[in-house]
C-alpha cells in the first residue's frame, strides 16, 4: 500500500515514511491510494478474534510494510487488558430507539484518543527503524486537553522519543490540567502558554517550520514529529473499532451480515468520522455518516450549504471543548477522495482557506459527499438536557461530547424517519467532564475537581475510572508558564530530557 499527499500525488511513500513524517512536505496529509476491501473470509476470521486481533487485522491491510507479527505484538501491548480495565476494549451498549453506544473511553486517559495514541508510539518507533532514521523523535503537541494527556501517556518512557506538550494556561479543565501536570516519565515536558489554544497551535507550527531550530535539533541527533490526527498513524487504528463493533453486532445477532447501520460521531478535527468513512469505503455497510457539532457548527453549515466552508465566524467556548474548532483538518482527506484524488483541486481549496478563510467545493464533488453524510449541531443547553433525559429515562450517563452526538442523532431520526440501527461514538468518560454532567443531572458542585468524582459517584452509583480517581493528592511535576512569544526558547528543554 502506498501513500500520497492530498496536495501532490506525484510522490508515493510507504506507510512507515508517512507515519514518521506526520505531515507531507507540501503541507498536505498522507492518504492511502486505494482502499483495501473486506472479504467474506475477513469477516469470518474477525468474528473469532478479540479486539486486539481485529485491530491488527485491519491495520495489516493498510500498513503493508509491517509484518502481521509486528502488528499483533503492538496491538497486544497497546490494548492490554490492564490498560483498558477489561478485555472488552470498546464495548457496544444498546439503548432504546436503535441506538448503540460505542464506548471508546475505557483507556488510561478516559477519552477516545487512547484508541490511537496507545498504539501510535509502537507504530512510530517501528516506522523510524524501517526508514533507517536514527535520530530521537521529538513529538510536539498543542492541546486543548484530551490529546495532550493521551499522547503523554502513550509516549512516556518510550525509547527513542521525547514528548513536549503545550496547553493554554486557562483553556483546559482543571481535571485535564492535573492529568497533564502530574504525568510521570523521564522523556516528557509540559508547558503552559499564556494565550489560547490557537496561540499554542500556531506556536508549535512555528517551531516545525523554523529551519534554524530544526538544524540545531539535527546537530543534537533529534528530529521533530507529530502526534495529532493529521498523522496517518493516528487515523488507521480508528478504522478498526467501527469494523470491530459491527462484528460485535453480528455475533450478538443484532443484525445479519450485510445489514446497513448509521454511524453518528461528535466531531472536531473530522478525524474520528473520517475513519468511519474509510471503513465504509472498505465495505462496512454504512447507510449514513452523521456529523455532529456543537455551537461551533462550521461543518453543519458545510454539509447543509452545498459545500461552502466558511470559518469567518465567531468562536464559542462550549461545554464540549474538544470540539471547539473552526478548521477541521481532516476534511482535506475527504475532499481528496470525493474529488477522485484531484490533488490540484484540493491544493487550490486549501489555498483559499488559508487566504480567505472560506472555499466552495465544486457541485460534482459535493454530490459525492452528500450521498454519504448527514449533519447537525446542538448548543450547550440542549447538550445539558440530553444528558439529563438519557440519565432519567435510560439510566445511561454520558459526557458532553457524546451528548451532542445523541441529540443530533435524535433530531436526524425525527427529521428523516430513518430507523436504521445507529452506532453513536461515545468519546469520553462522563467523569472526565464532571462539572457539566453533575449540573445536568441536578447535583451540587464542590470546589475541588477531584472531589467532584465522588459527587458524581454518589449521584449515580457509578464508579469513577481508576486513572481519574488516582489523581487525588498527586503533586504536579510541571509548573512552567511561558508567554506565547517565548515558545521557541522552550525547545532547548528537549536537550535536558
Ligand atoms: C478529540 C475529541 C473529539 C473530536 O474528535 P475529532 O477526531 O477531532 O473529530 C470528540 N470528543 C472528544 C471527547 C474528544 O477528545
The mean predicted confidence, pLDDT, of the chain is 94
Question: Region 92-107: what's the mean pLDDT?
Answer: 96
pLDDT of residue 355: 92
pLDDT of residue 87: 80
- pLDDT tens-digit readout, 269-289: 899 999 999 999 999 999 999
Packing angle, helices 40-47 and 232-252, rounded to 10: 80
Q: What is the pTM of this model?
A: 0.95
pLDDT of residue 168: 85
The burial class, CB within 10 Å (0-12 / 13-18 / 19+), for 444 is: exposed
Which protein residue has the closest C-alpha to ligand 1 atom 1?
Answer: 322
Is residue 439 within 8 A of residue 381, CB to CB? The reply is no
3-state secondary structure 334-355: HHHHHCCCCHHHHHHHHHHHHH
Look up 113 and say whether it is catalytic: yes
407 pLDDT band, cuts 50/70/90, is: very high
188 pLDDT band, cuts 50/70/90, is: very high
Question: Region 143-166: what's the mean pLDDT?
Answer: 93
pLDDT of residue 76: 97
Q: Quick check: 71 pLDDT over 80?
A: yes
Q: Quick check: 267 pLDDT over 90?
A: yes
Is residue 31 within 8 A of residue 6, CB to CB? The reply is yes
**DSSP characters for 50-74?**
-HHHHHHHHHHHH-TTS-HHHHHHH
Span from the CA of 402 to the centroid of ligand 1 (angstroms): 10
230 pLDDT band, cuts 50/70/90, is: confident
Question: Region 52-75: what's the mean pLDDT?
Answer: 98
User: How far apart are alpha carbons 368 and 361 in whole angstroms?
Assistant: 11
Candidates 409, 437, 451, 436; CA nearest to 96 is: 409
Helical spans, DSSP H, in 90-220: 113-117, 120-130, 146-155, 174-181, 197-209, 211-219
Query: 174 vs 392, 408, 444, 490, CA distance in Å?
Result: 27, 28, 17, 23
Does residue 148's CB lie within 6 angstroms of at least one atom of ligand 1? Answer: no
> Which candidate in 113, 149, 162, 288 is catalytic?
113
Question: Region 157-178: what's the mean pLDDT?
Answer: 89
Query: HSE-up of 437 (CA within 13 Å, CB side)?
Result: 28
pLDDT of residue 327: 86
Span from the CA of 319 to the centroid of ligand 1 (angstroms): 13
Contacts 24+ apart (CB under 8 A), 304-307: 304/375, 306/361, 306/363, 306/366, 306/370, 307/360, 307/361, 307/362, 307/363, 307/365, 307/366, 307/369
Q: Which atom belonging to ligand 1 lies closest to the Cα atom of 432?
A: 13
- pLDDT tens-digit readout, 428-475: 999 999 999 999 999 888 877 788 999 999 999 999 999 999 998 899
User: Looking at 116-125, 242-251, 355-364, 466-475, which range is the least confident one?
Assistant: 466-475
Q: Quick check: 198 pLDDT over 90?
A: no
pLDDT of residue 413: 97
Query: Is the CA virtual torsion 284, 300, 335, 202 positive or negative?
Result: negative
Query: 2 vs 18, 19, 129, 288, CA distance in Å?
Result: 9, 12, 18, 28
Packing angle, helices 380-394 and 400-416, rounded to 10: 90
297 pLDDT band, cuts 50/70/90, is: very high
pLDDT of residue 21: 86
pLDDT of residue 399: 97
Span from the CA of 431 to the centroid of ligand 1 (angstroms): 16
Candidates 306, 271, 248, 201; CA nearest to 427 is: 271
Q: Which residue shows C-alpha cell 452528500?
A: 370
Phi, psi of 136 (to 5 degrees): -75, 130
Is residue 409 within 8 A of residue 419, CB to CB? The reply is no
- pLDDT tens-digit readout, 300-353: 999 999 999 999 999 888 999 889 888 888 999 999 999 999 999 999 999 999
Does residue 268's CB lie within 6 angstroms of at least one atom of ligand 1? Answer: yes
Amino acid at each position: 500500500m502506498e501513500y500520497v499527499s492530498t496536495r501532490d500525488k506525484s510522490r508515493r511513500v510507504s506507510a512507515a515514511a508517512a507515519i514518521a513524517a506526520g505531515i507531507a512536505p507540501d503541507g498536505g496529509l498522507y492518504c492511502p491510494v486505494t482502499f483495501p476491501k473486506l472479504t467474506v473470509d475477513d469477516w469470518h476470521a474477525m468474528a473469532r478474534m478479540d479486539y486486539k486481533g481485529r485491530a491488527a487485522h485491519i491495520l495489516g491491510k493498510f500498513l503493508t510494510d509491517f509484518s502481521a507479527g509486528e502488528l499483533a505484538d503492538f496491538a497486544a501491548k497497546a490494548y492490554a487488558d490492564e490498560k483498558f480495565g477489561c478485555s472488552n476494549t470498546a464495548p457496544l451498549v444498546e439503548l432504546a430507539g436503535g441506538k448503540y453506544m460505542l464506548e471508546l473511553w475505557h483507556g488510561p486517559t478516559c477519552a477516545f484518543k487512547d484508541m490511537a495514541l496507545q498504539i501510535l508510539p509502537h507504530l512510530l518507533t517501528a516506522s523510524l527503524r524501517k526508514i533507517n532514521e536514527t535520530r530521537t523523535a521529538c513529538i510536539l503537541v498543542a492541546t486543548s486537553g484530551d490529546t495532550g494527556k493521551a499522547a503523554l501517556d502513550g509516549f512516556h518512557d518510550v525509547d527513542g522519543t521525547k514528548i513536549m506538550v503545550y496547553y493554554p494556561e486557562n483553556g483546559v479543565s482543571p481535571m485535564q490540567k492535573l492529568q497533564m501536570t502530574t504525568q510521570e516519565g523521564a522523556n516528557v515536558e509540559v508547558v503552559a502558554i499564556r494565550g489560547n489554544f490557537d496561540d499554542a497551535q500556531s506556536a508549535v507550527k512555528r517551531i516545525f517550520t523554523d529551519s534554524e531550530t530544526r538544524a540545531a535539533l539535527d546537530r543534537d541527533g533529534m528530529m521533530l514529529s507529530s502526534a495529532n490526527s493529521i498523522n496517518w498513524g493516528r487515523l488507521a487504528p480508528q478504522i478498526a473499532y467501527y469494523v470491530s463493533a459491527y462484528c460485535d453486532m453480528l455475533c450478538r445477532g443484532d443484525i445479519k451480515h450485510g445489514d446497513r447501520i448509521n454511524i453518528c460521531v461528535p466531531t472536531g478535527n473530522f478525524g474520528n468520522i473520517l475513519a468511519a468513512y474509510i471503513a465504509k469505503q472498505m465495505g462496512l455497510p454504512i447507510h449514513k455518516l452523521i456529523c455532529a457539532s456543537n455551537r461551533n457548527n462550521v461543518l453543519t453549515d458545510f454539509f447543509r450549504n452545498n459545500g461552502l466552508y466558511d470559518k469567518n465566524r465567531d468562536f464559542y467556548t462550549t461545554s464540549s471543548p474538544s470540539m471547539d474548532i473552526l478548521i477541521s483538518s481532516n476534511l482535506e482527506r475527504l475532499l481528496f477522495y470525493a474529488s477522485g484524488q484531484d490533488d490540484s483541486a484540493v491544493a487550490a481549496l486549501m489555498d483559499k482557506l488559508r487566504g480567505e478563510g472560506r472555499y466552495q467545493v465544486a457541485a460534482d464533488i459535493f454530490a459525492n459527499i452528500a450521498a454519504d453524510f448527514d449533519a447537525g449541531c446542538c448548543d450547550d443547553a440542549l447538550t445539558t438536557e440530553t444528558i439529563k433525559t438519557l440519565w432519567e429515562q435510560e439510566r445511561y450517563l454520558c459526557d458532553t461530547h457524546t451528548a451532542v452526538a445523541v441529540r443530533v442523532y435524535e433530531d436526524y431520526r425525527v427529521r428523516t424517519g430513518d430507523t436504521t440501527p445507529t452506532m453513536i461514538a461515545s468519546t469520553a468518560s462522563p467523569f472526565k467532564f464532571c462539572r457539566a454532567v453533575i449540573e445536568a443531572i441536578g447535583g451540587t458542585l464542590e470546589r475541588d475537581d477531584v472531589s467532584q468524582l465522588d459527587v458524581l459517584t454518589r449521584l449515580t452509583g457509578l464508579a469513577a475510572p481508576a486513572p481519574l480517581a488516582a489523581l487525588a493528592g498527586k503533586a504536579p511535576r510541571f509548573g512552567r508558564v511561558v508567554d506565547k512569544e517565548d515558545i521557541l526558547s522552550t525547545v532547548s528543554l528537549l536537550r535536558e530530557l
